[in-house]
């Protein structure tokens, strides 16, 4: 059974001359780390939000054979940006414990301790979320998405604003869950060097599906030229080594 099946997914925004997504179809299998690439404005974020049912769309999405609306407990999601009122007195610890409140109090400690250690959260765990840096907030969001061990996780540019050490930790965590639990991850990324390094499959998107296949097949000069235009190349993306990146 497919972990995630997307069939003819199409999104029209009011007033737009052409669809933001145009009949996109693909399937993901258990244990795959699939990277989603494409130029700015190609529909990567729109695709992730449409899969989750957060925006209106046409087509069908199933998770392990179930309509996505019935499969939310199987899903984890990290948006590119988290919009919230920074004046709210919500701490990082409270942000992490909210998804665990259905568990007995004693059962909350192990996943919380795992998240704090894995994503290096201890130094700011009890700060108000509105006061942490962009990179620290992203690490909290990643930890929260992985706390309840989803079977499919969607990540929208998780590298953005995160220092390279935390980024490597993220992909190490994904690799561990893929190996141990057959987690499936769909990751939107601009980091082509990271895509080449970690992906099992690559989806090339520019409003419609340009192709899907192994990184060595999809990250060729010909494919990238078709996807990005004349500026395309297998170029390195260097990180600033601070917590935030413009």
pLDDT of 177 strictly over 50 = yes
Nearest to 174 by CA among 158, 191, 190, 193: 158
The whole-angstrom separation of Cα 230 and Cα 20 is 22
82-91, 115-124, 183-192, 208-217: range with lowest mean pLDDT: 82-91
- At 13, list the tokens: 């925004």
Within the chain, residue ranges assigned H as helices are: 44-51, 92-97, 109-118, 134-146, 164-181, 192-198, 215-218, 221-228
Q: What is the mean pLDDT of residues 139-157?
A: 91
Q: In the chain, what is the straight-line distance between the N-terminal and C-terminal CA atoms, in Å?
A: 41
* Predicted pLDDT of residue 244: 36
pLDDT of 102 strictly over 70 = yes
* Predicted pLDDT of residue 240: 42
- Dihedral pair phi/psi, residue 2, rounded to 5°: -65, 140
pLDDT of 98 strictly over 90 = no
Give this prediction's pTM. 0.86
**Residues with Cβ within 8 Å of residue 72, at least 6 apart in sequence:** none
Q: Between β-strands 58-63 and 66-67, what pairing exists: parallel, antiparallel or unpaired?
A: antiparallel
Of residues 32 and 159, more confidence is placed in: 32
User: 242 falls in which pLDDT band (50, 70, 90)?
Assistant: very low
Range ranked top by mean pLDDT from 168-177, 202-211, 232-241: 202-211
Note the Cα 177 to chain centre separation in Å: 15
């Amino acid at each position: 059974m497919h972990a995630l099946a997307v069939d003819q997914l199409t999104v029209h925004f009011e007033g737009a001359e052409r669809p933001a997504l145009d009949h996109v179809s693909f399937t993901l299998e258990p244990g795959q780390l699939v990277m989603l690439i494409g130029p700015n404005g190609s529909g990567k974020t729109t695709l992730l939000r449409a899969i989750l049912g957060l925006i209106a769309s046409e087509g069908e999405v199933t998770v392990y054979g179930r309509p996505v609306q019935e499969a939310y407990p199987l899903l984890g999601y990290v948006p590119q940006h988290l919009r919230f009122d920074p004046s709210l007195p919500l701490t990082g610890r409270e942000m992490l414990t909210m998804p665990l409140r259905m568990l007995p109090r004693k059962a909350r400690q192990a996943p919380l301790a795992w998240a704090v250690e894995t994503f290096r959260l201890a130094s700011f765990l009890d700060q108000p979320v509105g006061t942490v840096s962009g990179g620290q907030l992203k690490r909290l969001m990643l930890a929260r998405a992985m706390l309840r061990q989803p079977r499919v996780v969607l990540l929208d540019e998780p590298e953005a604003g995160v220092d390279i050490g935390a980024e490597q930790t993220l992909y190490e965590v994904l690799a561990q869950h893929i190996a141990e639990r057959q987690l499936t991850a769909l990751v939107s990324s601009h980091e082509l060097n990271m895509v080449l390094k970690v992906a099992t499959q690559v989806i090339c998107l520019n409003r419609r599906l340009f192709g899907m296949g192994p990184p060595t097949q999809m990250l060729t000069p010909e494919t990238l030229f078709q996807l990005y235009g004349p500026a395309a190349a297998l170029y390195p993306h260097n990180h600033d080594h601070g917590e935030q990146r413009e």
